[in-house]
A and B are shown apart, each in its own frame.
Chain A
Amino acid sequence: MTEHSDWQATASLKALRLRADCLSRIRSFFDERTVLEVETPLLSQYGTTDPHIDSLRVSSSYQDQTRYLHTSPEFAMKRLLATGSGPIYQICKVFRDAEIGRRHNPEFTLLEWYRPGFDQNALMAEVEALVRQLLATDMELAETLSLRYTEAFERYLGIDPLAATVETLAQLASEYGIDIEMDSDEAQRDDWLDLLISQVIEPQLPKQQPVFITHFPASQASLARLDPSDARFAHRFELYLGGMELANGFHELTDPTEQALRFQAERAQRREAGKWDVPEDQHLLAALQQGLPDSAGVALGLDRLLMLALGSDDIADVIAFPFERA
């Protein structure tokens, strides 16, 4: 249904100027640190195998191919790292099917960067420096809080997320007024943890304080390497600000065998959930075979950063034409 006013932008002129200013300041930040700006394809031969992210598929009449709009520039940027690019960053649109809401638009802007030689701690420090610089005039930020994933659950829910039974997690959700029908087998542990972190912990996080959540459970490692001293956890972190997830980073997995196993595990999860299958990115696997330098990488949602700068709670306020008006 098209309303008469649907041709108009939902973002104010102030928001558009803020975006332009933010982009130019990000470029200066990385320019000063001699990080190279790069571009990689939006239309890839491979999609993401992540069971919780669906790529948008595009059909090309050229040799009757299916292409996938990238959900993050991660794989292509890692291929550049393996070619010896050194530190790189990219600002680009990414696409995630059917993610739409007050904090989500299926097409959104990511800032993603990779730092050879950094571990997650060094990268977290750089993320913090950039965010503080970009929000300096818009937000009074208190000192940064860093919590391990288990500490966040202990602090806000009083449980150990790995030791608690899944029944306990389900019981807690119910105590917090969440009415949901979901199996409570061990296989659903991560789903219950995702439910609790997004609906109970996130809203309780301090609003004016950057919060890093680190050491995610190995089952949620995604593309992070596991902690060599305790393989129950992964070197993955997230940054929260204003009670909203702003960035996700890894000390990157470089082992091609482990990467191939994770792809297969994710494909199996997709099959089990009745989702369509995705071919594994052979280019990434080949690049890892060649050798990915020891690196840390992070993706930061620029639209959400602009929401914070503007004091808005709706992503439509910072995007000229959100999905419904695109």
Chain B
Amino acid sequence: MIGALFLLLGLLITVAVIRPEGEDDQWRTARTEDLVQILDDLGSRQQRLEDEAARLVALQRDLETGSTAEALAEAQRRLEALQVLSATTPVSGPGLTITLDDASGRVDSSVLVDAVQELRDAGAEAIQVGDTRVGVSTWFSDGEEGVTVNGQPVGDPIRIMAIGEPETMSAAMSIPGGFAETVRTRGAQFTATPATNMTISVTVPVSAP
């Protein structure tokens, strides 16, 4: 009796251990609801990609059949998008102005890097810190007279301007443990002022490639 039970146990263990060596074991061991979830994800991903493909096919057709004016307009649109991305053009629109009154001087470069990251995550198109436009190669560092951006002192109070959805960005700033809280725990005053229309006119100088 005991021997039979142990035989059963040994058989079970062997079968369970050998089984995952199949070629598709990743799916074999998954549960039904996990598989349904994965299938759903794949379905919505396919939907997104199909939409993207349809848009691109339509664009291709327009470009092939349309006049040069359409091609020019598309090229212009891409140029503007890339200029905004590379921070080489002035940008205006709704945005948020953040003022940090850092009397104790405990706001350092890492805090500002976090601010830039969070603003970008919240959809900021253009960001200016102090008198410097934030581009792809902007750097922050801690100097003797406070934080510097690209080597320029950031000034006091620190002023950050961001173009984008003001509600989204101020929500992103004020989440618990977020930027506003970090700044306040470091003893600085945090003020965020939304604006329906503001302009960031500082640009990153374009250098020849």
A and B found bound together: no
